[in-house]
Amino acid sequence: MADFASLNTGDVLPSKSLSVTQDLINEYADICGDYNTLHVDVEGMKDHPVFKGTIAHGTINVEPVLQAVCTIQ
């Protein structure tokens, strides 16, 4: 497993992806303590005029980057 200190300019990270589901959003809310209605209130957000459902936490998109860094040997 690598860490950020072992990365060099020009290193190529392996491709990683993340399927964002409501279960993942709920688990993330448990970890970070952010239970904002925008993220966890499925029923309340389904009729939202803009989002039409819950939205993931903004920082959840960092996870694939961390996974990629951790796979560098």
Class of domain 4-70: alpha beta
Which sequence spans correspond to the domains of the chain? 4-70
Residue partners of 15: CB distance under 8 A and separation at least 6: 68
pLDDT band at 2 (very low <50, low <70, confident <90, very high): low
59, two tokens: 């920082």
pLDDT tens by residue, 20-48: 999 999 999 999 999 999 999 999 999 99
pTM to 2 decimals?
A: 0.72
Residues 6+ apart with CB under 8 A from 1: 70, 71, 73
